[in-house]
Structure 1
Amino acid sequence: MAENSSCSPEPLEFYNTSLGFESALPEWEALLTIFTLSLIILLTVVGNILVILSVFTHRPLRIVQNFFIVSLAVADLTVAILVMPLNVAYAIIGKWLFGIHVCKMWLTSDVMCCTASILNLCAIALDRFWAITDPINYAQKRTLKRVLLMIGGVWLLSLIISSPPLIGWNDWPETEDFLNEPCQLTQRQGYVIYSALGSFFIPLLIMTIVYVEIFIATKRRLRERARASKINAIVAKTQVSTQSKDCIKVSRDRESVSSETNHNEHPNSSDVTTNGKTKEKKRQKNKKKKKSSDKEHNAYLKPVLIHEDSFTDNPENSPSSTRRNSNPCTSDNLAVTSSSTTTSTTPLPLNKPHSKNSDQKVVINEPTPAVKKPGAVYQFIEEKQRISLSKERRAARTLGIIMGVFVVCWLPFFLMYVIVPFCPVCCPSRRLISFITWLGYINSALNPIIYTIFNLDFRRAFKKLLFMQT
Structure 2
Amino acid sequence: MLPLCNNIINISCVKSNWSSHVRASLYSLMVLIILITLVGNLIVIISIPHFKQLHTPTNWLIHSMAIVDFLLGCLVMPYSMVRSVEHCWYFGEFFCKIHTSTDIMLSSASIFHLSFISIDRYYAVCDPLRYKARINILVILVMIFISWSIPAIFAFGMIFLELNFKGIEEIYYKHFHCTGGCSIVFSKTSGVLAFLTSFYIPGSVMLCVYYRIYFIAKGQARSINHTNQKLHFGLEEKNGISQNKKRKAAKTLGIMMGVFLICWSPFFVCTVMDPFLNYTILPPLNDAFIWFGYLNSTFNPMVYAFFYPWFRRALKTIVLGKIFQRDSFRCKLFLELNPQ
TM-score range, shorter chain: 0.7 to 0.9
Find the partner of 2:302 among 440, 446, 449. 449
State the match for 1:169 in structure 2: 163
State the match for 1:215 in structure 2: 214
State the match for 1:394 in structure 2: 248
Per-residue deviation at 1:23?
5.8
Per-residue deviation at 1:463?
1.4
State the match for 2:130 in structure 1: 137
1:432 aligns with 2:285: yes
Q: Is the 8 A contact 1:229 1:382 kept in 2?
A: no
Per-residue deviation at 1:225?
3.0
Per-residue deviation at 1:24?
3.8
Give the 5 Å matches for 1:88-127. Answer: 88-127=81-120
Supply the AA of the counterpart residue of 2:130.
Answer: N
Q: Which runs of 4+ in 1 moved over 6 A?
A: none
Find the partner of 1:40 among 11, 30, 33. 33
Aligned length: 305
Q: Is the 8 A contact 2:270 2:281 kept in 1?
A: no
Match of 1:396, SS state, is: helix
Distance change in 2, residues 1:212/1:170 (3 Å): closer
- State the distance in 2 between where 1:52 and 1:225 align: 38
Identity, in percent, stands at 32
Distance change in 2, residues 1:35/1:14 (3 Å): farther
Per-residue deviation at 1:205?
1.1
- State the distance in 2 between where 1:28 and 1:50 align: 33
Distance change in 2, residues 1:417/1:179 (3 Å): closer
- State the distance in 1 between where 2:132 and 2:141 align: 15
- State the distance in 2 between where 1:90 and 1:379 align: 58
State the match for 2:57 in structure 1: 64
State the match for 2:225 in structure 1: 226
Supply the AA of the counterpart residue of 2:310.
Answer: D
State the match for 2:337 in structure 1: none
Match of 1:180, SS state, is: coil
- State the distance in 2 between where 1:150 and 1:463 align: 30
Specify every segment of 5 or more residues in structure 1 that has no aligned partner in the other structure, as ranges. 1-10, 16-21, 233-377
- State the distance in 2 between where 1:124 and 1:142 align: 11
Distance change in 2, residues 1:461/1:438 (3 Å): same
Q: CA RMSD in A?
A: 2.7
Supply the AA of the counterpart residue of 2:274.
Answer: V
Give the 5 Å matches for 1:46-445. Answer: 46-162=39-155, 163-171=157-165, 180=179, 182-229=181-228, 378=231, 381=234, 384=237, 388-424=242-278, 426-428=280-282, 430-445=283-298
- State the distance in 1 between where 2:270 and 2:43 align: 33
State the match for 2:331 in structure 1: none
- State the distance in 2 between where 1:89 and 1:380 align: 55
- State the distance in 2 between where 1:420 and 1:464 align: 48
**TM-score, reference length from structure 1:** 0.60
- State the distance in 1 between where 2:4 and 2:160 align: 32
**TM-score, reference length from structure 2:** 0.82
Match of 2:57, SS state, is: coil
State the match for 1:328 in structure 2: none
The structure with more radius of gyration: 1
- State the distance in 1 between where 2:37 and 2:19 align: 27
Bigger mean CA offset, 138-147 vs 444-453: 444-453
Per-residue deviation at 1:124?
0.2
Distance change in 2, residues 1:423/1:14 (3 Å): same
Q: Is the 8 A contact 2:233 2:242 kept in 1?
A: no
